[in-house]
Structure 1
Amino acid sequence: MQIVILDGYTLNPGDQDWEPVYKLGNVTIFDRSKTEEIVARAADAEIVLVNKVVLSAETLAQLPQLKYIGVMATGYNNIDVEAAHKHGVTVTNVKAYGPASVAQQTFALLLSLVNRAETHSQSVFAGEWTSSPDFCYWKTPLTELAGKTMGLIGLGDIGSQVANIALAFGMNVIAYRKHPVPVDGIEMVPLDDIFTRSDVISLHCPLTDETREIINRESLSRMKSNAIILNTGRGPLVNEADLAEALHNGVIAGAGLDVLSTEPPKADNPLLSAPNCVITPHVAWATFEARKRLLQMVADNLEAFLRGEAKNVVTPM
């Protein structure tokens, strides 16, 4: 079985073991693949594993040997699933490999905004504490989370983990989901309540026509002036120009983002110059532990397919 991994570096830059995949066939690994390189590299492959490489209908039509695409991620919008289905190619993805890691990053972003530990550490190393006339000082307002309201848009595996951490911080937790179910300690509310009542809003919903740019000028205008937006979900959940404008104008207090609408971002992305905005380069999923689970689950999906028992199959919408 010829297996080609077209963009292995992000999942495994050298700190993981590809052995779970190696034992399933003859494996060729490319760290990265440009669009024009895909067909030549995958021409003889029956199995292709990708993270973010785009497999379009045009590309798939040139890969007659292909039987299986294993997406090494949860999102699969980089695959033309309808074209794959037409060509008899099975497509799978991986879910729930990193809820704890994403929830942890969500609070890393929040704590960065309310405690500014890095800002104060840099100040100390710059000599400002040594020269201070006082035994302590703070360069930004500091905010206690206990008693504040965390509003969650989405309450799946990740949102539930975020809720548990928020409760441990002594926060009140409210949540909106399309099909609400009772959850101990969490008040299920209409979407408008999330915008008007929350001190912190965290996005954990799928990207759909309904949720695209759910954070926009109109929803931002309904938020508290001390509100903070967190997005570790999908970049297009946020209208970035509207959010940047709100930050510049003090409509809300801050934003912490691990995802953007275009990745890597263009130099003119308005959020790159917005005040009180913390951005990390889509790393919430990328802890060593989460990537190790992901790699094993990729192998498990492929092994199940080879047994004739395909699982985690994605189908055309």
Structure 2
Amino acid sequence: MGMSSGIHALTAIDGAVSHTKSLLWPFRAGVWLRLAVIALFVGGFGGGFNFFSFPDGGGHAGSGMPVDLFAPGLGVAFLLIGIILILALVFGIIGSIFQFVFVDCLASGEVSLSRTFGMRSGKGLRLFLFQVVFALLMVAAMIVALLAVFLPVQGMGAPNLLALIVLVPAAVLILVCVGVVLMLTTDFVVPVMIRSDCGVIEGWRHAWAFIRPDLVNAAAYVVFKFLLAIVLGLIALVLALVAAAVIAVPLVAVGVVAGIALGDAAVPVYLLLLLIGIIVAVPVLLLVQVPFATFLRYYSLGVLARFSAEYDLLKSPAETGAVQA
């Protein structure tokens, strides 16, 4: 095990740029499309649903009668929510597996969605469970702290108010810690699990062995990775907006002409143009993020290699560039 000199977060940038350029250029449609699919899943997903948000406060219908939980409308709503949650669960598990597949692709230079998917499914599931359990434990800790503040019968007295003032920054600190742990799990522990063929907890033990002696570099990486993600995210957003505008302008022009020529009868044309726009825009917007997602993953792998040569999974840029289209 060895470490390079300097700030790893800075010295790894050039290598990440070189690897990214070698993998993505010259342009190969197959490589970009497969990376776009991977980026879709490893990029994460969000959104939430309030199960208790009903008209008139949620406890009664507007007539003052209790809500019938078996009413057809509510049944459909719960069914849709259940389907969405199941899809989100499946999406999350696939995304966790693709974290490993992504590293396999970049380490080998062979960009494939299926080559190691089955082999990494067990590790991906363990990663997903670890992330969920860890996040839930942190949320539970925050809820317990909130209850400790609000439950006492004396109400919002001075001690409780003081506790609340302390609790808010503490909650923010917990959220930051959760984000850091999950980021390091993805960036460092996933490659360690691949190289050492181990689970998440054992992977963290291996990772902590080289992080603990060099906490300054670890902190620098966390801060710089966060700043890089913001900057690259803004650039990707601008490019996505430009791409969306390029796609939308001709479609809107056709829609205007159709509206003038057909009047109310142009509604089917509008729907067709909307469908065409979605079909064209989704893959284009996914392709826009490919170089940014690829660079950031190469960057984290490069930093990991500087923490410990034992976990250097990257080939030289020349070798990585020898991919199949």
Superposition TM-score, scaled by structure 1 size:
0.22
The structure richer in strand per residue is 1
Question: Which of structures 1 and 2 has the larger relative contact order (alpha carbons within 8 angstroms, sep 6+)?
Answer: 2
Tell which structure's C-alpha radius of gyration is larger: 2
The structure richer in helix per residue is 2
